[in-house]
Amino acid sequence: MKRWLALAALLVALDQLSKFAMMRLLAHGGIEVAPFFNLVLVYNRGAAFSFLSDAPGWQRELFIAIALAASAWVIWLLRRHPREMLFCFALSLILGGAVGNVIDRVWLGAVIDFLDFHAAGYHWPAFNVADSAITCGAALLIWEGLRPNPRPQNKPQRREDAKENE
């Protein structure tokens, strides 16, 4: 459990350091890094893809509450499944990302986004390190859920499992 919480804490630190650095670097405008990638400074008051960003302000508390509830649930899952490495790794990514964005919402009222990818005039919504961690964690959970998970041959079946197989 400690290593998974340490990984989440490391992600929170990287997320917050990157946001602090970008706030200083981009205080006077964005930077074109490549023909398809810019660094920009965006304060997102909404959720993913700026969902509810135009709401009058009530969404801040809602998103904080959702993230805190999700974080508590993730910690509960980490405690319940300590030996499932990929599952716990994915949950740690999600936990670190959620906490990183909650910190922004609590202190600034919005999440700082700064990575802007674009092509042919279309810009993907700006995002940050926390968003990337959440997305990677969710993708890993999906992948882990879809891959076959055969029972090891040398592990005895539980009595309940043996009854179901009869």
- In the set 15, 104, 116, 131, the catalytic residue is 131
What's the mean pLDDT when you consider all of the chain? 87
DSSP string of 50-95, one letter each residue: GTTTTS-STHHHHHHHHHHHHHHHHHHHHHH-TT-HHHHHHHHHHH
Instruction: State how far the alpha carbon of 136 is from the alpha carbons of 6, 28, 142, in Å.
Output: 17, 31, 10
- In the set 54, 113, 116, 161, the catalytic residue is 113
Using one digit for the tens of pLDDT, what is the confidence trace for 114-148? 999 999 989 889 999 999 999 999 999 999 989 88
Q: Is the pLDDT of residue 150 over 90?
A: no
pTM of the model: 0.82
> For residues 113 and 126, is the Cβ–Cβ distance under 8 A?
yes
Token duo for residue 86: 């990929």
113 is known as an active-site residue:
yes
Using one digit for the tens of pLDDT, what is the confidence trace for 1-37? 899 999 999 999 999 999 999 999 999 999 999 999 9
